[in-house]
Amino acid sequence: AVTPDGAGTAYTAAADKDGLMVSFIQSNYKGFGSALAAPSLGFALQNRGALFDVDDPAHANAYAPGKRPFHTIMPGMALKDGKPWYCFGVMGGNFQPQGQVQVLSNLIDHGMGVQ
Note if 3 is an active site residue: no
Given 3, 9, 12, 72, which residue is catalytic?
9
Residue 1 CA to residue 92 CA, distance in Å, equals 10
Residues making up the chain, counted from first to last: 115
Phi then psi for residue 41, to 5 deg, are: -100, -25
CA Rg value for the chain: 17
Could you list the active site residues? 9
